[in-house]
Amino acid sequence: MGPEIKKIGVLTSGGDSPGMNAAIRSVVRTCAYMKVDCVGIYRGYQGMIEGDFKPMDARSVNNIINKGGTILKSARCDEFRTPEGRKMAYEQLRAEGIDAFVVIGGDGSFHGAMTFNEEYHFPIIGIPGTIDNDIFGTSNTVGFDTAMNTVVDVIDKIRDTASSHNRLFFVEVMGRDVGHIALNAGVGAGAEEILIPEENRGLERLLESLKRSKKSGKSSSIVVVAEGDKIGKSVFELKEYVEEHLPIYDVRVSVLGHMQRGGAPSCYDRVLASRMGVKAVESLLEGMTNFMVGVQNNKIILTPISKAIKGHTKIDKELIRVSEIMTT
Amino acid sequence: MGPEIKKIGVLTSGGDSPGMNAAIRSVVRTCAYMKVDCVGIYRGYQGMIEGDFKPMDARSVNNIINKGGTILKSARCDEFRTPEGRKMAYEQLRAEGIDAFVVIGGDGSFHGAMTFNEEYHFPIIGIPGTIDNDIFGTSNTVGFDTAMNTVVDVIDKIRDTASSHNRLFFVEVMGRDVGHIALNAGVGAGAEEILIPEENRGLERLLESLKRSKKSGKSSSIVVVAEGDKIGKSVFELKEYVEEHLPIYDVRVSVLGHMQRGGAPSCYDRVLASRMGVKAVESLLEGMTNFMVGVQNNKIILTPISKAIKGHTKIDKELIRVSEIMTT
Amino acid sequence: MGPEIKKIGVLTSGGDSPGMNAAIRSVVRTCAYMKVDCVGIYRGYQGMIEGDFKPMDARSVNNIINKGGTILKSARCDEFRTPEGRKMAYEQLRAEGIDAFVVIGGDGSFHGAMTFNEEYHFPIIGIPGTIDNDIFGTSNTVGFDTAMNTVVDVIDKIRDTASSHNRLFFVEVMGRDVGHIALNAGVGAGAEEILIPEENRGLERLLESLKRSKKSGKSSSIVVVAEGDKIGKSVFELKEYVEEHLPIYDVRVSVLGHMQRGGAPSCYDRVLASRMGVKAVESLLEGMTNFMVGVQNNKIILTPISKAIKGHTKIDKELIRVSEIMTT
Amino acid sequence: MGPEIKKIGVLTSGGDSPGMNAAIRSVVRTCAYMKVDCVGIYRGYQGMIEGDFKPMDARSVNNIINKGGTILKSARCDEFRTPEGRKMAYEQLRAEGIDAFVVIGGDGSFHGAMTFNEEYHFPIIGIPGTIDNDIFGTSNTVGFDTAMNTVVDVIDKIRDTASSHNRLFFVEVMGRDVGHIALNAGVGAGAEEILIPEENRGLERLLESLKRSKKSGKSSSIVVVAEGDKIGKSVFELKEYVEEHLPIYDVRVSVLGHMQRGGAPSCYDRVLASRMGVKAVESLLEGMTNFMVGVQNNKIILTPISKAIKGHTKIDKELIRVSEIMTT
């Protein structure tokens, strides 16, 4: 076990997600409870390099558990990918007396943390904060549950107008490499079709499905498309393709975009973030390092951060089947 | 006064808006209260031409006051613009024994109703149902209040992520010819700039404003743009223009689209629709025709439908000034 | 006209309402725009007496337009009702160099301000902030629109379970002397009966109405009751009374309580508060005093604060009639 | 394996929960997909006894996935607890040609189904639908996730006004025997104390905690209390007790009540219900009976219904600890 840890830094990094503030609050309050100092590191690794630090006590995080975004701000930081950048970061941390840090973010953020740990043997723990749920070693990332709710709320609204006009809507949701949001929110919103990066079932199948849907007497259709869908057509090209081949449809497009990252976190995400923050601080104090906190089977667990980065989450085949049955 | 009215038809026409169901419910229940028959006309004028009718009693409209969309469906109908189409509509109405109708919709729907009235002396009353609030003779159209709330809710979410990343967002909202949604929701969402069709203050001014905003220490900026903004650039072109001239900004775009038409109506829109439905039926029974029901100074009033169509709503200059002061 | 005004105080007083923060933001930013100093007075008149002041600039009010509650806190203050208390308040204001203040609150808060003005000729302007909409001289108080939406959202949820079980619910909403929330939210939520302080139509009528409702085939019933309803029975006594006389009903009670004061303000309330804040500061700078800012027919106007206090808002008879027709 | 199943009944029973409609939709559509007939049984076991049946096809369940309540209605039914009642139910089912049924409900509903199965060897499968999450054999019941979100949304609103006035609120949430909602929503809402049926830590501890909270500089406090809390005082008695012993606090009470059962289901509950419905029908067709569908570690599994009834869910000790750390 390394030297005693007396001061812990906390930062958010990469794309923000709802519940990051709840995770920050948990890290800060657990430090206070454990009588360890806590320092907020602003703007992710960029702020680490620049020494943009602020001490935080239990009251610094009042009234943030229900707020979207991150009070510590976030940023992507190319400099931290260079040895020079990481050296500056290390020097800033030492100057501030920070002995370890908790990084809340996604894949890229964990990669940076791991490299930093290798070079400087600096204790780090990761908390998975991203709406995409694409991190191995945890069944849920902080923000995923909220994003699903945001998407179904919006599609519920779109369906109101779709079914009033007998229209077909293509709705693009986030998920560059993974279709978790698309698949879950698609099933939750009662979508007729769901196009995800993990499966390319071709345009023919889409046309067939839409024809069947029309024949079955449905008055409107929603097709949910993940950004990174492998058919390789943008949602606007899909619209044109369908209008050409199925002129019976009046097709519209909606790209949900960044609203999916914001909003008050769901209860689940707040509780998950709170649990993970406790575990992160406790693990550092117990001498653990280079782990990511995750949840499996509703238990909080640790996964080596190297495995979290290299592993791949898999799309749930059973859920794909459920989605097909539901569009009967 | 014309012959006694014993059966009233009700239809929704044009783009749908939240609260249309509340208006339908009100027309149907007022008919029941007044002991007059009521018939639902499906899919707007198209259904009128095709005789797509269904008798409605007080129980037909249970549990719809809080639903978005329209249970009667809506459609645009080119055929009703032809004398032949209107003749068929008239014959269908007579065959069903319908003596008068209430049309819930916007400008185009009222125009059709007026022409129909001129040709067949058929009693009609209009209820303004559109999210754009672009109808003369009423301070509020049914759906406008809800759409404003939908837009600020979404921008609140976008701001979470915008301020976490120090970003600039262009958010496009509905309003092809009028900036009511953009101006009100822009002020309500605390937007830094609001671009509306009624005022072209140029790109220079936008750049100046954004520079000033940055200098004043704001961490993020939201620019709300009405679809029909007169600068004449799409929201994507605006993004490119700003990125070129103010490279300090990381600019993103969000097009809100059709979600603005859906969702559970606000209390205000439900109450307004309920009041307007009562007035519409009562007016027909009192022998009035060719009027639109409106609200002014919180009183329900009638405006000749010809004036409602020709008049223009004006953007509130005071509110533009308020928006400028608020971005200090 | 009095001496030049260089520093304006702003406070919130009495029960809080959604949109108070938007009003504070507007007062602060208008001061900044007009190049006048602005000082936040914490905890209402109590903080004024204690000199609990903090200078505020345009950035002090970032990101509060969408937050419920009041960042300046509020309190009821008996001490300000005494000459001694007001003397201390005056001395604190002079010591701080405050030349005028804007008070955001209700009836009681305005009364205190008026007395203070009479004694010390101190310039004051009021902004009506209360969910009850019980202030004369304005068609809407800041917070009323949001509270109506909160109530219909909750009743929509209650109706889900009520209609699944064929139940009757009594829902108590705020409004000790006035039934504006009950009447509007009752109509908006499709309530079968609405009991308000302004009308005592007796228990007999309620029973008759419930019997009729049952006979008409309705599967569930919601009765909205204002706190101060004149039948003089608590909502729990009403439950017992109905269960005794109409044993066919399975009756439940829900008291909505303080949640009605909170939550993100609606777009309307945010815009209204923004407009009122501008007018309040401008009026003080133009030498006006002892006025309340109000809105009438969508124009921002001033009413002598003495009239605002003494006048009475009236319940809308037309809306009572609409509510009766809607329960057909 | 028993005789071939050609017609499946579906009913909802006991207290309703959000997501029941999504479960009904899933059962109906899976039957359609599997080319098996499906019959809706109205008003739970009461409707079964009375033969209140309606055939359902895939289109019967359009647009209900996002609706709270249950389109099949629910009821508690004493008659089904008698052999005579169950005999009548059996005869009705045979007369309709129903070969098996899926019951969506809680503990009591499962008990009735199991007894019925023992007596008539009638194939049954249960889907756990209740907001309380008190069913053994599944980590989540349909409706629990939504209820948690409803509770934190309301407490977020209450906190707005609580912190504007430095108040203490006791908020009573559902959970007669189990504290799952209270504990999770309490942590999610940032409650200062959480009182649950599973732990009686006494009134002394509550007072100590509130004193500490005040000293630590918190401006407001929320105490979440499960209905069945073992301290044995009602939430109103708690208020009086605290006001007597800690007069510094201005205490208010809010009883959330039935709104917790309603509202649009969360995405999670919609997906869970969809998955469970598929599994329920498939299991019946595979000849399984007397099982409850559950979810464990994100996999859909079966548990003998006898174990589901007898087992007890346990409160998460780790989460209690998290809640204590969070109130630092």
Distance, CA of A127 to CA of A104 (rounded, Å): 5
pLDDT, tens digit, 9 for 90 and up, residues B201-242: 788 889 998 988 888 877 789 999 999 877 778 899 999 999
What does pLDDT average to over chain B? 94
* A neighbours by CB contacts (3+ pairs under 8 Å): B, D
What does pLDDT average to over chain D? 94
C159 contacts B25? CB cut-off 8 A = no
Calculate the dihedral angle through the C-alpha atoms of D131, D133, D139, D144, rounding to the nearest 10 degrees: 20
pLDDT on residue C136: 95
Cα-based distances in Å from A299 to A132, A296, A305, A316: 21, 5, 18, 20
B75 contacts A160? CB cut-off 8 A = no
Kind of pairing between the strands at D168-173 and D251-255:
parallel
Instruction: Classify C226 as helix, strand or coil.
Output: strand
Q: Which of B259, B261, B269 to mutate to test the interface with A (most CBs of A within 10 A)?
A: B259
The H or E element spanning position A256 is none
Closest partner residue to D161 among C154, C169, C262, by Cβ?
A: C262
- The answer, yes or no, to whether residue D217 has pLDDT greater than 80, is no
Structure tokens belonging to residue D235: 């939430």
**Comparing C-alpha atoms, which of D224, D226, D174, D170 is closest to residue D198?**
D226
Which residues of D are catalytic, by number?
A: 132
How high is the ipTM of this complex? 0.96
Neighbouring CB atoms inside 10 A of C215's CB total 8
Calculate the dihedral angle through the C-alpha atoms of C283, C287, C292, C295, rounding to the nearest 10 degrees: -30
Could you tell me which chain D residue has the CA closest to the CA of A275? D322
Q: Which residues does residue C105 pair with via DSSP β-bridges, in sequence order?
A: C128
Distance from CA of C46 to the nearest CA of D (A): 12
Q: Per the annotation, does A259 bind a ligand?
A: yes
Q: Per the annotation, does B191 bind a ligand?
A: yes
Q: Per the annotation, does B252 bind a ligand?
A: yes
Chain C neighbors of B318, CB-CB under 8 A:
275, 300
A322 contacts D270? CB cut-off 8 A = no
Neighbouring CB atoms inside 10 A of D2's CB total 12
- The answer, yes or no, to whether residue A3 has pLDDT greater than 80, is no
Closest partner residue to B164 among A74, A255, A257, by Cβ?
A: A74
| Residue B305: half-sphere exposure toward Cβ, Cα within 13 Å | 29
Chain B neighbors of A15, CB-CB under 8 A:
161
Q: Per the annotation, does B227 bind a ligand?
A: yes
Section A142-169 average pLDDT: 95
- Residue C245 has phi, psi (to 5 degrees) of -90, -20
Chain D neighbors of A322, CB-CB under 8 A:
26, 271, 274-275, 278
Could you tell me which chain B residue has the CA closest to the CA of C26? B326
- Residue listed under structure tokens 């989540």: D140
Q: Which residues does residue A172 pair with via DSSP β-bridges, in sequence order?
A: A225, A255
Chain A neighbors of B150, CB-CB under 8 A:
157
Strand (E) positions, chain A? 7-12, 37-41, 53-55, 100-105, 124-128, 167-173, 193-195, 221-226, 250-255, 291-296, 299-304
pLDDT, tens digit, 9 for 90 and up, residues A9-63: 999 999 999 999 999 999 999 999 999 999 999 999 999 999 999 999 999 999 9
Calculate the dihedral angle through the C-alpha atoms of C213, C214, C218, C223, rounding to the nearest 10 degrees: 50
- The answer, yes or no, to whether residue D2 has pLDDT greater than 80, is no
Could you tell me which chain B residue has the CA closest to the CA of C35? B328
Binding residues of C for substrate: 130-132, 167, 174-176, 227, 252, 258-261
Q: Angle CA(B69)–CA(B276)–CA(B18) in degrees, nearest 5?
A: 20
Distance, CA of D150 to CA of D256 (rounded, Å): 10
Chain B interface, Cβ < 8 Å to A: 12, 15-16, 18, 20, 67-70, 73-75, 150, 154, 156-166, 169, 219, 252-255, 257-259, 261-263
Distance, CA of D318 to CA of D328 (rounded, Å): 16
Could you tell me which chain C residue has the CA closest to the CA of D255? C255
- Residue listed under structure tokens 């290299």: A310
Could you tell me which chain A residue has the CA closest to the CA of B220? A73
Closest partner residue to C271 among B58, B187, B266, by Cβ?
A: B187
pLDDT on residue C2: 59
pLDDT on residue C230: 76
Closest partner residue to D264 among A156, A316, A319, by Cβ?
A: A156
pLDDT on residue B213: 83
Region at D35 (left for phi over 0; alpha for psi -120 to 50; beta for the rest): left
* C64, C274 Cβ separation under 8 angstroms: no
Could you tell me which chain D residue has the CA closest to the CA of C162? D69
**Comparing C-alpha atoms, which of A54, A155, A127, A64 is closest to residue A280?**
A127
Distance, CA of D265 to CA of B151 (rounded, Å): 22
Query: What sign does the CA torsion over B284, B288, B293, B299 have?
Result: negative
- Residue listed under structure tokens 């149902």: B129
Chain C neighbors of D12, CB-CB under 8 A:
164
Side by side, the strands of the sheet bearing B37-41 are: B53-55, B37-41, B7-12, B100-105, B124-128, B291-296, B299-304
- The answer, yes or no, to whether residue D83 has pLDDT greater than 90, is yes
Distance, CA of A298 to CA of B210 (rounded, Å): 47
Distance from CA of B105 to the nearest CA of A (A): 13
Residue C219: pLDDT band with limits 50, 70, 90:
confident
pLDDT on residue B201: 77
Q: Decide if D7-143+265-310 and D145-261 have a common fold.
A: yes
Size of interface C-D (CB pairs under 8 A): 113
Closest partner residue to C30 among B278, B319, B325, by Cβ?
A: B325
Chain A interface, Cβ < 8 Å to B: 12, 15-16, 18, 20, 67-70, 73-75, 150, 154, 156-166, 169, 219, 252-255, 257-259, 261-263
Residue C215: pLDDT band with limits 50, 70, 90:
confident
pLDDT, tens digit, 9 for 90 and up, residues B252-272: 999 999 999 999 999 999 999
Distance, CA of A37 to CA of A55 (rounded, Å): 8
Cβ partners under 8 Å of residue B139, min gap 6:
B294, B295, B296, B297, C297, C298
Chain A neighbors of B159, CB-CB under 8 A:
69, 262
Section C184-207 average pLDDT: 91
Distance, CA of A244 to CA of A224 (rounded, Å): 19
- The answer, yes or no, to whether residue D3 has pLDDT greater than 60, is yes
Q: Per the annotation, does A131 bind a ligand?
A: yes
Distance, CA of C141 to CA of C134 (rounded, Å): 8
- The answer, yes or no, to whether residue B87 has pLDDT greater than 80, is yes
Chain B neighbors of A258, CB-CB under 8 A:
157-158, 161-162, 169, 252, 254
Distance, CA of A26 to CA of D325 (rounded, Å): 8
Residue of C16, C37, C132, C269 marked active site: C132
pLDDT, tens digit, 9 for 90 and up, residues A124-142: 999 999 999 999 999 999 9
- Residue listed under structure tokens 């610094």: A60
The H or E element spanning position A327 is none
Chain B neighbors of A157, CB-CB under 8 A:
68, 150, 258-259, 261-263
C263 contacts D164? CB cut-off 8 A = no
Residue C213: pLDDT band with limits 50, 70, 90:
confident
The class (CATH top level) of C147-261 is alpha beta
B257 contacts A253? CB cut-off 8 A = yes
Instruction: Classify C270 as helix, strand or coil.
Output: helix
pLDDT on residue B216: 80
Chain A neighbors of D270, CB-CB under 8 A:
152, 187-189
Instruction: Classify A98 as helix, strand or coil.
Output: coil
The H or E element spanning position A250 is strand A250-255
Residue B176: pLDDT band with limits 50, 70, 90:
confident
Q: Which residues does residue D193 pair with via DSSP β-bridges, in sequence order?
A: D223
Residue of B132, B134, B145, B229 marked active site: B132
Could you tell me which chain A residue has the CA closest to the CA of D319? A275
DSSP state letter for C190: T
Least confident of A177-186, A213-222, A281-290, B168-177: A213-222
D159 contacts C262? CB cut-off 8 A = yes
Residue B25: pLDDT band with limits 50, 70, 90:
very high
A258 contacts B169? CB cut-off 8 A = yes
- Residue A236 has phi, psi (to 5 degrees) of -75, -35
Domains of chain B, residue spans:
7-143+265-310, 145-261
Calculate the dihedral angle through the C-alpha atoms of B14, B18, B22, B25, rounding to the nearest 10 degrees: 40
Size of interface B-C (CB pairs under 8 A): 154
Cα-based distances in Å from D277 to D10, D270, D280, D284, D302: 10, 11, 5, 11, 12
C-alpha D114: how far from its chain's center?
A: 19
> Which CATH number does B7-143+265-310 carry?
3.40.50.450
- The answer, yes or no, to whether residue B122 has pLDDT greater than 70, is yes
**Comparing C-alpha atoms, which of B69, B86, B93 is closest to residue B9?**
B93
Closest partner residue to B326 among C29, C188, C189, by Cβ?
A: C29
C-alpha C64: how far from its chain's center?
A: 19
* B315, B179 Cβ separation under 8 angstroms: yes
Cβ partners under 8 Å of residue C270, min gap 6:
B152, B187, B188, B189, C19, C22, C65, C66
Q: What's the burial of D217, exposed, middle or buried (CB within 10 Å: 0-12/13-18/19+)?
A: exposed
**Comparing C-alpha atoms, which of B313, B306, B31, B81 is closest to residue B197?**
B313
Neighbouring CB atoms inside 10 A of C236's CB total 12
DSSP state letter for C118: H
Domain B145-261 has CATH 3.40.50.460: yes
Pick one of 3.40.50.150, 3.30.450.40, 3.40.50.460, 3.30.420.80 as the CATH number of A146-261.
3.40.50.460
Residue A252: pLDDT band with limits 50, 70, 90:
very high
